[in-house]
A and B are shown apart, each in its own frame.
Chain A
Amino acid sequence: MRLLVVEDDKTIREFLTRALAESGFGVDASALGREAEKLALEGVHDALIVDLTLPDMDGLELIQRLRAQGVTSPVLILSARRSVDERVLGLERGGDDYMTKPFAVAELLARVRALLRRSTPSQSEATRLRVGDLEIDLIRREAKRGGTEIQLTQQEFSLLEYLCRNAGRVVTRAMVLDHVWKMRIDTSTNIVDVHIHRLRNKVDRDAHQPLIRTIRGVGYVLKD
């Protein structure tokens, strides 16, 4: 998978390139809109990450020009502009997702993967997910660890399902709130930690190998 990062801020461009490369992506990077346009028209990139504020042209203009020239790769917009109107405008002009700065790298990686999944042919939806000895049945909404059923509330099951779907990948608190509770809120309390703690008590309590791990300062990961 090859990505194109268009970001004029050198520091952000470099750490994005590094983080994406470490996650297994091939990365091209550009600080200028014109140069990025030429690179994107080569048609070798599976997704684009575009900052809206570029020195030689507006990021939205770049996206519009690429769409007009037949570039169909998904575009993740990065911006410090935070209003809902600007977010909607970005998506209307050809963007596929929108992230405001500052952002967690883990969330950016998750969103890029989600974009790439959406742009590749759909596979049949799994009805069972398995991580180590944890197995969840999405139809019957049941979870078992080592063959023993775990009693979960609706919220807890949804949270566990989200962690399983992203098994091995870090999810941030904001991502959990967004996907499980459908809420985009910043919280100064440990509200998500409380739910994770309760879930962990049920999933990992009797197991010798904990599955749900906290990545301090970033979020959580469920992995074997």
Chain B
Amino acid sequence: MFSRIRGSFYRTSAWRLALRSTLVFAAGCAVIFLAMYIVVARAVQERSDSWLIGESETLKQVAVTTPRDALYDRIVEEVAELASQEVSYDGSGHPIKGNTVFFAETDSSPHQTVWVGPQDSGKFLAALHGISPERGAPVSVRVPGWSAPFRVVAVSMRPGQGHIYLGLLDASAAALMRRLLVRFALGWLLMVGLGFFVTLMGLRRMLRRVDAITGTAASIRSDDLSTRVPLKGQRDEVARLAQTLNNMLDRISSTVNQLRTLTDSMAHDLKSPITSVRGRLEIALSTEDRNQCAELVAGGIEQLDRLSEVITTSLDVAEADGGALRLRPQTVDLSELAGRVAELYSPAFGDNRQSFTIEAARPVLVQMDVPLGTRMLSNLMENELHYAGAGAEVSVEIGIVQNLAVIRVEDNGPGFAAELLESAGDGAAAMARVFHRFVKGNGSHGHGLGLAFVNAVAVAHGGRVVARNRKHAGGAEILVELPLSGAKTDQPPTSTREAVS
């Protein structure tokens, strides 16, 4: 699984998603860092500009108020020197390397009259030539031979007395800004790199689990449905997807197994009578005895009728199991219906030397599809006729227990074989094997459809069937529970008891 991801890594969703999210993240961080840098740079520049404006005003006052005598230049130069020293040392008195201040005074010509600053004053004065003193706000001026621009403020003195210029190259601030820029860039790279790595790893880990699900689904074959996605205790979306897939595979596997069982059983239960009918017809074709011929054909017809019944019932049970059995329910008195079915079967119990009693509370109203309900009751009777054994006592009881309509069929025959009462199937579909199609006891001559049909009809009507062996008296007990109809009766249930032997 891992090799599959690594083999085409740059085509994986993990790579694409990580790259896209990282690009968006990087752009967002860059914008934030740039905004922060601009704010800091402006704050630093405002600090320099404030100093320049304040000092230029001081120097202007000095220049204006100092008499224009032989000492004028000396006084102004000294004041300018003192001002420049303010930015040349830090708060502890240590010199700040690189900070440079210049002061220039020009007359109205404009020719330089006073200069305090680096030696090459000509370059500076040439650079100052285009500055307009009227603005009074600092501007950036590039001086040839200097790495960074100077912030310069120009102030006009009295009319006809010229201008003074104060310039500052704040090397410490420039260095601070450079350091800030570098650290911002490094921080940005680190964040983007780390974000990309974490996103990529997270996505890759998640998608590897998705890939495992894909691999599992791809490995499913019709002859092997046993593969499942391994679950490691996570409870996230991918884990739920894996769990859902596993559940789906469980259901498919169960259905396929049922289908195989059904196919095998159908093959056996259909082919045997077909073989028998074919044999009968062959003999009938070759015999010259007309009576024997008629007998063989009639037997064949009877077998075909039974075959038709197997197919019909099997389809009904299959439809019911698949939730596709369409009901036409109507309000029915279960006691009355069971009574009519019992009337039909009573003589057969007598012929079978079985005693038969029916006890019915009336009325027991249920919403029931009458043909299906009739067949369900008929199957319960047939089951007793076939399997309770000669001489058995069979009793049927119809009543209401805990707001449910209950049909209880009991006998004192041999009971169910233990393996038929074992639970089979998964989850909500789990039920005793005796209710599965084509499951039958060793002594059964039927097709294993009778009780499967009873169960299918009961479930289709929102009820259930329980099969068990009676604990003390011995024999079998089948309990069918159905929801009562919404139609209520005010009459207390009365019981009738009918015994037939």
Contact = CB atoms under 8 A, between A and B. Distances in A.
Interface of A: 82-85, 88, 102, 155, 177, 181-191, 194-195, 198, 215-218
Given A189-B348, A191-B344, A194-B347, A216 B299 contact: yes
Contacts of A185: 371, 374-375, 378
Contacts of A182: 340
12 contacts: A82-B312, A84-B369, A183-B340, A183-B341, A185-B375, A186-B308, A187-B382, A189-B382, A194-B348, A195-B347, A215-B298, A218-B301
B131 to A, nearest CB: 100
Secondary structure class of chain A's binding surface, majority of residues: loop
A188 B382 contact: yes
B347 A188 contact: no
Listed residue (A85, A155, A195, A216) with the most chain B CB atoms within 10 angstroms of its CB: A216
B328 A217 contact: no
Nearest to A190: B348
Contacts of A189: 348, 382, 385-386
Interface of B: 294-295, 297-302, 304-306, 308-309, 312-313, 315, 326, 328, 340-341, 343-345, 347-348, 351, 369, 371, 374-375, 378, 382, 385-386, 446
Given A184-B371, A189-B382, A102 B308 contact: yes
Nearest to B340: A181
A186 B344 contact: no
Nearest to B344: A181
Nearest to A85: B326
A84 B371 contact: yes
Given A183-B341, A195-B344, A216-B298, 5 more contacts: A181-B343, A183-B378, A188-B446, A189-B385, A216-B295
A15 B298 CA distance: 17
A190 B347 CA distance: 11
A183 B305 CA distance: 17
Contacts of A198: 347
Contact of A83 (B313, B326, B375): B326
Nearest to A192: B344
Nearest to A186: B309
Nearest to B371: A184
Contact of A183 (B294, B328, B351, B374): B374
A188 B378 CA distance: 10
Contacts of B340: 181-183
A28 to B, nearest CB: 28
